[in-house]
Amino acid sequence: MFKSLATKKLVLFSIFTTATLFCTASKPSLILNNHYPYIAALNKWLTNNTFALTPPSIITKTKKTNDQIRQEAKQTKEWNIIVYMAANNNLHAFSIKNLQQMIHIGSNERINIVVQLDGYRMEDVSRFYIEKDNPVLISSFNHTAATISGTTQSLLEFVTWALETYPAKQQALVLWNHGSGIKDPHIWGKKIISHRDEFFFFNHQTCLLELNRHLLDHDFEELEERGIAFNDTFETYITNQELKDTLDTICANALNNKKIDLLFFDACHMAMVEIGSQIKSAVHYMVGSEEIEPGGGHNYIYALEPFLHRSFSPAEFACHLVNAYEQEYINFNADYTQSAINLDTYEPLEKLIKQITANLIDLLQQEPEAFTQALQSIRYSRRFTTEFGDPDYIDFCLFFQTLEKKLNALLSDQTFTQTNITKITETVTLLRQSLTLLLESVIIKNTAGLNLPYTQGLAIYFPRRSIDPYYRTTIFDQTTQWSEFLHTFGLNLRNLGNS
């Protein structure tokens, strides 16, 4: 439910603004076949919900046969753009908007655009090959495990089918849905980040949409859905561990042990150091947001239009997607983020973080008061820490930069033992090395709105209160022991508070 009438009006304003910007950019027709149950329902929804889109022009189109598909798919393209749109939730209006944007560009001699889409409260799933002004319906089916979006089987079967049907030299997988970072839910949602547009308001001074962080501070504790690809009808989603397993299976079985070139999260809170660790075995580059994304997500006209004229390397495509996101939001949103991450550089980063974590634990145990207070002054200060929509997520680079300065200042403390002075010096050196690696090799492109000037491309989990029990099962934590540092810091805070 909306918090208030005023909030509701602002939410409608943000939706209207997004839709208006899209409609002025292009007016493609959505070409669908009423013969298929899901499409007929979608047409009915479009007719009854003109607030979300321009009035659509629905033109019938016959389904292509498998022979026709195989004949047209013989040519090996430069890229497959494989779009998994899990829209069985309150983002369904935006799925149609984004689908129209893809239709406006269409597949060409360089790219195949292949989409799997389900609808709100539907038990059907449809697969499209997106031609210019013509979404060709390849298949529509229901009552199988593969039709339930938000399951590993659904994602695995769709991506495998796309790879086998449409040959291409490079693969981009788009995961389109809700996302909420590295934490997974314990129950099926209370308030869900799917109400994310409630948290935006219009600032009349800057003429930009902004996140109401005061509202987030009070309400985000109630949000319990985590992971990605949420399905409201079947109350299921893909956990981060399931995502890793599914991607690894795709690479082993459908790509002959090659990695996916680019994983593009069109979802909230997925640009996290932990997410990178989770998927690095299966993906070369990832693109995502540290912050809450507006419901409209990416503008796929901006994202795909350059393919009309040229192709990209994976690194170039990842950087272009960041630029496209900035192009969409720079003039009306002050709280956007987007970054491109090179996952091939992750292992040395994880080794550095593991050493830093071990040193911080030692210092917290040897000098609990001094180092707990130093960390406390960083973590709970909005001057030194950038929090996001989920306040348990903070900007990773800014934290390390501030920590390096704080530890450097502590070197002049004459009360520390020589052993601890040596440990601090070593930690400062490790922090500098990790920041160099992050800013020069790992984060290859980053953009952020006016309200997030110190955001640099990757978030990390640093909860305000208790540690999510699932977090200890993540690849990142098992590699770096980050949760042991968080536990030691939290324990010291409680002890100092009681002393």
Model pLDDT for residues 200-209, shown as the tens digit of each residue: 455 555 555 5
For residue 451, give the nearest of 218, 260, 232, 213 by alpha carbon.
Answer: 213
Domain-ending residue, one of 274, 309, 344:
344
The count of domains in the chain is 2
Alpha-carbon radius of gyration of the chain: 23
Distances (CA, A) of 341 to 314, 351, 431: 11, 17, 19
pLDDT digits over 220-230, tens only? 444 443 444 44
pLDDT digits over 48-81, tens only? 443 333 323 333 344 566 666 667 667 899 999 9
Is 375 found in the same domain as 339? no
Domain-ending residue, one of 299, 323, 344:
344
Per the structure, the complete domain to which residue 440 belongs is given by 347-498
Is 340 found in the same domain as 351? no
In this structure, are residues 263 and 171 in contact, taking their beta carbons and an 8 Å threshold? no
- Whether 14 shows a pLDDT value over 60: the answer reads no
Is 397 found in the same domain as 320? no
Is 47 found in the same domain as 186? yes
- Whether 334 shows a pLDDT value over 60: the answer reads yes
In this structure, are residues 261 and 358 in contact, taking their beta carbons and an 8 Å threshold? no
pTM of the model: 0.82
pLDDT digits over 428-482, tens only? 999 999 999 999 999 999 999 999 999 999 999 999 988 988 899 999 999 999 9
Share of the chain above pLDDT 90, in %: 57
In this structure, are residues 406 and 360 in contact, taking their beta carbons and an 8 Å threshold? no
Is 313 found in the same domain as 434? no
Phi-psi region of 285 (alpha: psi -120 to 50; beta: other; left: phi over 0): beta
Is 395 found in the same domain as 254? no
Is 296 found in the same domain as 162? yes
Is 401 found in the same domain as 428? yes
Is 198 found in the same domain as 174? yes
Domain-ending residue, one of 325, 344, 363:
344
Is 81 found in the same domain as 10? yes
Is 242 found in the same domain as 389? no
Is 95 found in the same domain as 154? yes
